[in-house]
Structure 1
Amino acid sequence: MDSQRNILLIALLFVSFLLFQQWNADTSTQPQNQTAAQSATTQGDVPSHSGESQTIPGPSSSDKLIHIRTDVLDLTVDTLGGDIVEAKLLAYDNELNSDDPFVLLKNEPAHQYIAQSGLIGANGIDSTAGRAQLTATATDFVLADGQDELVVPLTYSKDGIDYTKTFTLQRDSYAVDVSYTINNQSDAPATVQMYAQLKQTLLDDGGSLTMPTYRGGAFSADDEKYKKYSFDDMVDKNLNLSMTQGWAAMMQHYFVSAWIPRTEDTSNLFSRTSQGQGYIGVRLPSATVAPGTEQTLTATLWSGPKLQDKLEATAPNLNLTADYGWLWFIASPLHKLLSIIHDFVANWGIAIIILTFIVRGVMFPLTKAQYTSMAKMRMLQPKLQAMRERFGDDRQRMSQEMMEMYKKEKVNPLGGCLPLLLQMPIFIALYWALMESVELRHAPFFGWIHDLSAQDPYYVLPILMGVTMFLIQKMSPTTVTDPMQQKIMTFMPVLFTGFFLFFPAGLVLYWLVSNIVTLIQQYIIFKQLEKKGLHSKNA
């Protein structure tokens, strides 16, 4: 198989990959009005200890808010129940060059996305009668300079029992420990159960053909390290899993929120939908607090970017929310290598260029084998043509003679195709590594490239990529004589350029540099082949 047909093959594989990703994104989402209509029951914000949802007729929010600020997080907490109703990520701009921070959790009419937690059970403070109005000592809490930990308590008392809901935040961390301390000064045992859930408006956000993204749920449990659970899945079937280790999350491209129960006993993982809202969360085991004693129940909320090292340190398998698909075993090492390179060069664009040279350098033996096989196949074309004339329509005899000739000349007819097929998974893996890397979000390269995660605003990189692809075609040996096939091959660079106009600049940069490396390698390989008398120029 010659170079031109290889280009057509890889183009078809690439386009098929894009179409599959978009189809997968489209089928994992569902319009809000449809999901709302399919929700047959009206459910409130508080799950019951039995696993069924409780309805709360009263208000689920108030105007009594407090603010908690660290070096990376700015949280707004509603003291009615103590839910986190807003989370600003101070290290990430909302838009490129914006002074406003990115808002992950929000409580807006068109899009509600909040982190809720509470106590249910016989002595719980969240029930069908309403949620507890907690008391704070101030309205603003700030992590001071030189301070590594910020502790914010909210208190409530009822029937001789003191409840303290505590938020504990660390410097340079998106993990927030949320704990309930139950101090039972009554004469009877107190039974409570802590729940922690994420609530979000059901939105259709599948991205585009060139940048498919996922918004929806995900979870980890004992028998499932990582699994997406879309809003559509939540509508179809409620989750109800027991686990000793795991978490419940909601994801959106570069960011994730997740609740992790901090207990060695069995917790319950659940999901549900109600009135256009999706819920996914965990229930900790029920606890009975004896009179005169106290007990603390804790869950951790991660609400921030998909920083894989920090996610992995927060909970097992939480780093898998940086979803690299089925080629994760290739994409993950590529991302780690890219991060190591960036530590030295301090520019993600330069890091991508260096990574490209490393990847293509490792694959050089495959590239050399590819062009050597193509050159040998071209040298055999006169003999193949003579066989076609000699055997005519006798295809069986023709095939036998061809196989004998390939064996005698030590030529593999698939030698030019297999290297490309082996390179395709590497490209797809790198595609996802760059797509899922929050580090590239709003990361500048130089000149007009201010954001490697967005498309080139002036389309310079895609056009240069198309030019280099055309040069590769012109330099490659070919046996194509059919005018229609020649036109199709000539059109391939134009087709690819059209696709890459809307790709993230970081990925186009990789492909452009890869093409430049290919041109250099072609020159070196063809010079070596000429010395062996194998290389001849295109017809």
Structure 2
Amino acid sequence: MESQRNILLIGLLFVSFLLWQQWQVDNAPQPVAHTHTSVAPSTVADAHSSDVPSADSALPEVTTNSKELITVTTDLLEIKIDPMGGDIVYSALLAHKLEENGDDPFILLEQTNDIYYVAQSGLIGRDGIDSSRSGRAHFDSTSREYTLAADQDTLNVPLTYVAANGVTYTKMFTLYRGKYNVNVDYNINNTSSEQLQVQMYGQIKHSIKKSESSMMMPTYRGAAFSTADTRYEKYSFDDMVDTNLDKSTLGGWAAMLQHYFVSAWVPPENDKNIIFSSVSAGGLANIGFRGALYDIAPGSEQTLNAQFYVGPKDQESLSEISDSLNLVVDYGFLWWLAVPIYKLLMFFQSLVTNWGIAIILITLTVRGALYPLTKAQYTSMAKMRNLQPKLAEMKERLGDDRQKMGQAMMELYKKEKVNPMGGCLPILLQMPIFIALYWVLLESVELRHAPFMLWITDLSVQDPYYVMPILMGISMFVMQKMQPMAPTMDPMQVKMMQWMPVIFTVFFLWFPAGLVLYWLVGNLVAITQQKIIYAGLEKKGLK
């Protein structure tokens, strides 16, 4: 009886958690953004913040199919650079396919009728060449095609611009074998007789899109940023519409997120930067940074730089760029539990090279660790069942006197050494583990298109034939039959218990196959454990 109530409890808790998550996405009041009030050092130029080409700027005339674009290809990336401003207007992730078993790569940055998503960078300030006042610089390149050769680990793509005063600006893109980050350097050779004052900026422009999440897949699409005070904070499109960001910080980063993938500008961690955002009336959102203001004396050179990441939410790669950028893999409030689960999952995967088997091993590990508590749970349930006749006699003798009934029950529990709450602890421990694993399976890009066996070719999406959810429902039904309802149980509660396997099966039809696998294997382990524990209890005279 207690076990059935626990199953009902965990089901209601988890469904309530999912409903709360979706309500947060759709209806929760958005946090009010507060402008940073500290005075920025002189090395940060706030006076020229309006110089950054805003989201209101007209869309570039150059499209991703234009012959004028510069195409750069490495082992992992294909990007296209617009010579007007040197913006990255297209990125294809060659190691990640758009569809399972497909040939087309996943495209992150692009300009189409449906979405506008580009990474822009430039120089602003008094002598900037990319400001809203001066317009964008048009760079020259010696080639329209750059490819990382088999014997190369680094690929440099130099773009040059010579201003009217003779100053030479070289914008260097550096890409690396096995990496998704692009290093962007501005080298300014001041051959003029005047001192120059410039400031680098980088921003990501994105069409404002509605969230595509659902109750079972509450994924996030929008912006995020990091400052010295706040290591990671989401800043949704609604937040951006309400209030423009303007935060002074040492280091920091600005990013656009979607399920499994991220693009981010990461300025130098020792520079004072401004993290900003803006929104256009036409439905474009910007988030980015303005870097430190540099004075460049006549006859001298200065290099300004930042890193741009465009790729999957790979925690190891993200951590190499910034110690907080890996937080874009958002495990929610149970991150402290999800991180070790993720590491354990990765460890098992390194041993068996099959994500489904790794999930099974995680399940066995969790169930094995909780076995002492599970045994205590079933022992407590058996003792409670054996006390039912005494409790029924007590209720008949004491009638409706709740105070005396409560005192008598506590004395009986103490005498028989029974903890009436003993059956709840394993469930309460399993619930956060289940939610943490849910977020690990939902957020880990490693599981995207990861096969298991037979018809399960992608553990990150639902079972296409609903076989595992049905098997999971059958396993719940078997567990239910192994624990008969008490005669004194409320009839309405009995009906709810009888329908629980059906209700769970319906919910799990849309869950990621990896999560259903975890639950199914967990049920099978629980059935086995019950058999073993019950056999031991019967030897002790406890039915």
Q: The TM-score by the shorter chain falls in which range?
A: over 0.9
**Closer, same or farther in 2 for the Cα pair 1:27/1:114, shift >3 Å?**
farther
Measured in 1, the distance between the counterparts of 2:223 and 2:29 equals: 11
Give yes or no for the alignment of 1:136 onto 2:141.
yes
Match of 2:534 in 1: 526
Residue number among 94, 100, 106 corresponding to 1:102 in the alignment: 106
Match of 2:225 in 1: 219
> The residue matched to 1:113 in structure 2 has which SS?
strand
Measured in 1, the distance between the counterparts of 2:313 and 2:27 equals: 24
Match of 1:114 in 2: 118
- The within-5 A match list for 1:128-527 is 128-158=133-163, 159-274=165-280, 275-476=282-483, 478-479=485-486, 481-527=489-535
> The residue matched to 2:458 in structure 1 has which SS?
coil
Given residue 266 of structure 2, which amino acid in structure 1 is its aligned partner? I
**Closer, same or farther in 2 for the Cα pair 1:395/1:253, shift >3 Å?**
same
> The residue matched to 1:494 in structure 2 has which SS?
helix
Per-residue CA deviation, residues 164-183 of structure 1 (Å, 9 max, x unaligned), is 11111110001111111111
Given residue 341 of structure 1, which amino acid in structure 2 is its aligned partner? F
Match of 2:37 in 1: none
Measured in 2, the distance between the counterparts of 1:499 and 1:264 equals: 49
Cα offset for 1:19?
Answer: 0.5
Given residue 24 of structure 1, which amino acid in structure 2 is its aligned partner? Q
Match of 2:5 in 1: 5
Cα offset for 1:477?
Answer: 5.1
Give yes or no for the alignment of 1:125 onto 2:132.
no
> The residue matched to 1:135 in structure 2 has which SS?
coil
Query: Do the aligned residues in 1 keep the contact of 2:252 with 2:269 (CA within 8 Å)?
Result: no
TM (norm. structure 2) is 0.93
Query: Do the aligned residues in 2 keep the contact of 1:29 with 1:230 (CA within 8 Å)?
Result: no
> The residue matched to 2:113 in structure 1 has which SS?
coil
Cα offset for 1:54?
Answer: 5.2
Query: Do the aligned residues in 2 keep the contact of 1:122 with 1:191 (CA within 8 Å)?
Result: yes
Measured in 2, the distance between the counterparts of 1:469 and 1:318 equals: 41
Cα offset for 1:400?
Answer: 1.1
Query: Do the aligned residues in 1 keep the contact of 2:3 with 2:423 (CA within 8 Å)?
Result: yes
> The residue matched to 1:484 in structure 2 has which SS?
helix
More displaced, 164-173 or 398-407? 398-407
> The residue matched to 1:12 in structure 2 has which SS?
helix
**Closer, same or farther in 2 for the Cα pair 1:104/1:48, shift >3 Å?**
farther
Per-residue CA deviation, residues 266-318 of structure 1 (Å, 9 max, x unaligned), is 11111111120111111111111111111111110111001111111111111
More displaced, 508-517 or 19-28? 19-28
Measured in 1, the distance between the counterparts of 2:160 and 2:47 equals: 22
Query: Do the aligned residues in 1 keep the contact of 2:87 with 2:120 (CA within 8 Å)?
Result: yes
Measured in 1, the distance between the counterparts of 2:195 and 2:57 equals: 29
Per-residue CA deviation, residues 473-492 of structure 1 (Å, 9 max, x unaligned), is 11125425333221110100
Query: Do the aligned residues in 1 keep the contact of 2:198 with 2:293 (CA within 8 Å)?
Result: yes
Given residue 457 of structure 1, which amino acid in structure 2 is its aligned partner? P
TM (norm. structure 1) is 0.94
Given residue 106 of structure 2, which amino acid in structure 1 is its aligned partner? F
Measured in 2, the distance between the counterparts of 1:131 and 1:60 equals: 11
**Closer, same or farther in 2 for the Cα pair 1:139/1:357, shift >3 Å?**
same
Query: Do the aligned residues in 2 keep the contact of 1:58 with 1:130 (CA within 8 Å)?
Result: no
**Closer, same or farther in 2 for the Cα pair 1:500/1:257, shift >3 Å?**
same
Query: Do the aligned residues in 2 keep the contact of 1:261 with 1:284 (CA within 8 Å)?
Result: yes
**Closer, same or farther in 2 for the Cα pair 1:310/1:58, shift >3 Å?**
closer
Query: Do the aligned residues in 1 keep the contact of 2:196 with 2:297 (CA within 8 Å)?
Result: yes
Residue number among 49, 67, 71 corresponding to 2:71 in the alignment: 67
Match of 1:20 in 2: 20
Measured in 2, the distance between the counterparts of 1:266 and 1:28 equals: 33
**Closer, same or farther in 2 for the Cα pair 1:478/1:371, shift >3 Å?**
farther
Cα offset for 1:146?
Answer: 1.7
> The residue matched to 2:119 in structure 1 has which SS?
strand
Measured in 2, the distance between the counterparts of 1:135 and 1:436 equals: 41
**Closer, same or farther in 2 for the Cα pair 1:271/1:393, shift >3 Å?**
same
Q: Which runs of 5+ in 1 are unaligned?
A: 31-46
